[in-house]
Amino acid sequence: MNESAVRRHLEALEKEGLVYSRFERRNRGRPKKIFSLTPYGKTFFPRKSKTLLSLLAQNIMQRYGKEEMELLMSLVARDFVDLLITKEIKGNLESRLEQLVQLLNDYGFFASLSKRRNNFIIEYRNCVFEDVIPQFGTYLCKIDEGVVKKIAGDVDIKWMERIAKGDKKCVQIISQSEASNQHNRTSLDTDKHKYEFTPSHTLQNSHRHSVHGGK
């Protein structure tokens, strides 16, 4: 293969995002054009990351057990939230979930939100962690649960379908937690009591009965 053919081939690879070029100046002569692989280009070469992750997951489970693995995933979820959230999240539960779904889609989850009675349903048509499901299984779902609770607050999450269990999509039902509902009811009762006034005629009668003696 001659030099011009090699150059055309490298330029074609650069257009596909597989390599990038830069000019490097040497001590003498014209600068040389250097080509290097991009991170995307490197993905076409053999990698054994999954094997390493598998061994790591096995050793964590054997040494520390299920509870420690769940704790680890909750810590990962906390860090993942910092990567996922690129703007301030505010509003009521429905608004916060809508903003969450948008962030999830920006990250590649292909998620959608719907409402059924008092429950919200998030459907994920893609799991961005799917390639490590064989190593971590449903522990990966703990990351998603942590993200939802971080953004939505005190909610209950029930899984109906999971890609990690072999389903074609993930479906979770989100509802306000019973503790949160109880808190809201208590707040309403407190507010109601706060604004209950004694009728004026009751105050007058009370004042009348408190006077003793004298003409």
Q: How many CB atoms lie within 10 A of CB 108?
A: 10
Which is the CATH superfamily of the domain at 49-178?
Trafficking protein particle complex subunit 3 (3.30.1380.20)
Please tell me whether the overall predicted TM-score, pTM, comes out greater than 0.85 for this model: no
In this prediction, residue 46 carries a pLDDT of 79
Q: How many CB atoms lie within 10 A of CB 10?
A: 15
Alpha carbon distance 128, 120 (integer Å): 22
In this prediction, residue 115 carries a pLDDT of 95
Q: Work out the angle between the directed axes of helices 66-84 and 49-64 (0-180°, nearest 10).
A: 130
Local mean pLDDT, 10-residue blocks, the chain (215 residues): 83 89 81 87 80 83 86 86 85 94 93 94 93 84 90 94 94 84 51 45 47 45
In this prediction, residue 179 carries a pLDDT of 62
Return the SS3 of 37.
strand
In this prediction, residue 210 carries a pLDDT of 45
How do the domains of the chain map onto residue ranges? 3-42, 49-178
Alpha carbon distance 72, 163 (integer Å): 21
In this prediction, residue 113 carries a pLDDT of 97
Tokens of 71: 């704790």
